[in-house]
Chain A
Amino acid sequence: MTEDSVITDEMKAAIGVESEPSVYEIEKEPIRRWAESIGDPNPLYRDEEYARSKGYRSIIAPPGFMAQYAFPVKAGGGRRSFQSPFTRMLNGGNDYEFFKPIQSGDTISATNKLAEIRERTGSMGKMLIIINETTFKNQDGEIVAKARSTGISY
């Protein structure tokens, strides 16, 4: 079992190390464009007056909106801190926990850490299972959400 482990000391050292934050300014148009791209007509994600009538300050981000934080335009944290020996990557799963709504006008800071790394041999050969955890805070320092993603590097 231990022969030819692809888990390096570099990977082990990366576990639990919190990244620098990536900062996202949440704006209406990207939320609307997101809702449009998944085909979700809910006015909470499009119509400011409607969102206010439901007690929000502005339109809010839909739950799946979290996925885009994995791809910051303005690079901050969230970059992988180790080299995988494999070049191909598949998304194994996403889990989200929400504590407060993310609303247009918020500034969200996301910090990321490698939570766990395992190796497995599957139908496509050896692979690394990489579990990342991201914590999202708003401009008041409140945790608004947590995300856990499972990546398969093969």
Chain B
Amino acid sequence: MAEQLYFEDVQEGTEVTPLAKNATTQQLVRWAGASGDFYQIHYDKDFALGNNLPGLIIHGALKSAWLGQLVGDWAGNEGIIKSYGCSYRGMDIPNDALTCKGVVTKKHVEGNEHIVECDIWLENSKGEKTTPGTAVVVLPSKS
């Protein structure tokens, strides 16, 4: 695991350590099983095509879970995720090299909480931000 990140280590503009993802169709099925989301557009190609989709698409909430992993990995296990969320603006497909990314937009102290706000997103192999969002974390402080 990466070393613990501290409040003092980040500034506005600091990059969130990127996280690469590339889903196989098997991963979509595994996730369907783990989450209970069995909507067929994620594993039945004929069904997806019949729903005017280009083919199988990745579950929105799986992309959200990856963004949660991005933020959790970066904030470290001494950091706390206060909130995060994203919008599914563009569809993502299996077997595409995706990257979860983020950048710090603000840092401030409230009471004894050292709060860092970020923009986060998932981008596809063409560099399109399909899944933009935001996150707020509390980091430990060295002081």
Contact assessment for A63 and B72 in the assembled complex, using a CB-CB cutoff below 8 Å: yes
- Contact A94/B86 with A63-B81, A71-B37 known, Cβ cut-off 8 Å: yes
Contact assessment for A88 and B62 in the assembled complex, using a CB-CB cutoff below 8 Å: no
Contact assessment for A88 and B87 in the assembled complex, using a CB-CB cutoff below 8 Å: no
For residue B124, CB closer than 8 A to chain A, the reply is: no
For residue B85, CB closer than 8 A to chain A, the reply is: yes
Count: A-B pairs, CB below 8 Å: 112
For residue A124, CB closer than 8 A to chain B, the reply is: yes
Tell me whether chain A's interface is mostly helix, strand or loop, or mixed: mixed
The contact string, 1 if C-beta is below 8 Å from chain A, for chain B 42-60, is: 0000000001100000011
A34 to B59: give the CA distance in the assembly, Å.
14
A38 to B28: give the CA distance in the assembly, Å.
9
A47: min CB distance to chain B, Å: 11
For residue A12, CB closer than 8 A to chain B, the reply is: no
Question: Can you add 17 more A-B contacts, CB < 8 Å, to A70-B36, A92-B60?
Answer: A36-B34, A38-B69, A42-B73, A62-B72, A64-B67, A68-B37, A88-B51, A91-B59, A91-B61, A94-B85, A94-B86, A95-B84, A95-B86, A96-B83, A96-B85, A97-B82, A97-B83
Cβ contacts A to B, 5 pairs, < 8 Å: A40-B65, A42-B72, A92-B60, A95-B84, A97-B82
